[in-house]
Amino acid sequence: MTIPLVVGVDGSEASLEAVDWAADEAVRHGVPLHLLHAAPRDHEVPDVIGHASERAVKGAPTVRLSSEVLNDDAASALVDKGRNAFALVLGSRGLGDLAGMLLGSVSLAVAARADCPVVVVRGAAEHRNTRFGSMVVGVEEGEGSGTAVQFALREAQVRRCRLVAVHAWSAQPGALTTPQAPSRYAREAHRRSPAQVLDDALHASEEQYHDARVSRRVVEGPPRQALLEAASEADLLVVGARRRQGHLGLQLGLTNHALLHHAPCPIAVVPRI
């Protein structure tokens, strides 16, 4: 049995936008779409699943659809369902979130704890409807981006769109860079240039997804700024997340937190396997 793409619904407009995005994504990848509404019994919203199902079928008539209602904490239910899911898809804000919040508490909790990729559907309609024909993946130093790069290449190949791989770097502020005491990054760059870091991250997966069109972008500066700028003309932003040592969940880090709150397009957080 093909594992499903799971979308969390709570009756909010943001969750219905997530249903639209998820229905298209499920058809694109040929996987079933599973609608999940989870809430304590005293917080249930009438016919949430019915409205979400109508929305999914209207936008993607061929989608294979199933649904479920659970009397449980939404974040916990979604994380549990994500243990056997193609991905989890969520709206940027739910019904219970305070006005002015940039990202809902459930979406943030799920992004930090899930075992599968989590897509938070953000941005204006032009960013949610594949208008730009372009995706962005952030590539960091080390091995933390490997699964994210593979996810992004697969997505770009299925969408037949361009993938922009971005690696941002900078020397540590105030670091000594004399020959006697070079900065940590300067020592690392002596072995691998930023361009080589990007090439190495892409090399293995590019062979598997050879039809994907990839361009490389090396930026000197903060990763947050580089990725937000690149995502301004993208349909999807993909970032990786490491496992937390000795704890459950992921190490989202300051950059991923900022991107989850401010990305102008849907953002996928892909845990390192």
| Residue-range domain boundaries for the chain | 5-121, 127-171+193-271
End-to-end CA distance of the chain: 22
What is the predicted pLDDT for the residue at 182?
Answer: 47
What is the predicted pLDDT for the residue at 179?
Answer: 45
Closest CA to 93 of 33, 177, 14, 190: 14
Tell me the residue ranges of DSSP E strands in the chain: 5-8, 33-38, 65-70, 87-91, 118-121, 134-138, 162-169, 213-220, 236-243, 250-251, 267-271
CA torsion sign, 79 to 81 to 85 to 87?
negative
What is the predicted pLDDT for the residue at 94?
Answer: 67
For 227, the 3-state DSSP assignment is helix
Closest CA to 40 of 13, 69, 2: 69
Give me the tens of pLDDT residue by residue for the chain, a chain 273 residues long. Answer: 689 999 999 989 999 999 999 999 999 999 999 999 998 877 666 789 999 999 999 999 999 999 999 999 999 999 999 999 999 999 987 665 544 455 778 899 999 999 999 999 999 999 998 899 999 999 988 766 789 999 999 999 999 999 999 999 886 654 433 444 445 444 444 567 889 989 988 987 888 888 899 999 999 999 999 999 999 999 999 999 886 654 455 567 889 999 999 999 999 999 987
CATH topology of domain 127-171+193-271: Rossmann fold (3.40.50)
Domain 5-121 has CATH 3.40.50.620: yes
For 137, the 3-state DSSP assignment is strand
Cβ neighbours of residue 39 under 8 Å, at least 6 residues apart? 10, 45, 71, 72, 74
- 36 CB-side CA count, 13 A: 29
Percentages helix, strand, coil for the chain, rounded to the nearest 5?
A: 40, 25, 35
Residue with structure tokens 């904490």? 73
Q: Do residues 129 and 233 lie in contact, with contact meaning Cβ atoms separated by under 8 Å?
A: no
- Bridge partners of 165, per DSSP, are 137, 216
User: How confident is the model over 94-128, as pLDDT tens digits?
Assistant: 665 544 455 778 899 999 999 999 999 999 999 99
User: How confident is the model over 246-271, as pLDDT tens digits?
Assistant: 445 556 788 999 999 999 999 999 99
The bridge status of strand 87-91 relative to strand 5-8 is: parallel
Closest CA to 222 of 138, 118, 148: 138
Q: Do residues 120 and 103 lie in contact, with contact meaning Cβ atoms separated by under 8 Å?
A: yes
pTM for the full predicted model: 0.88
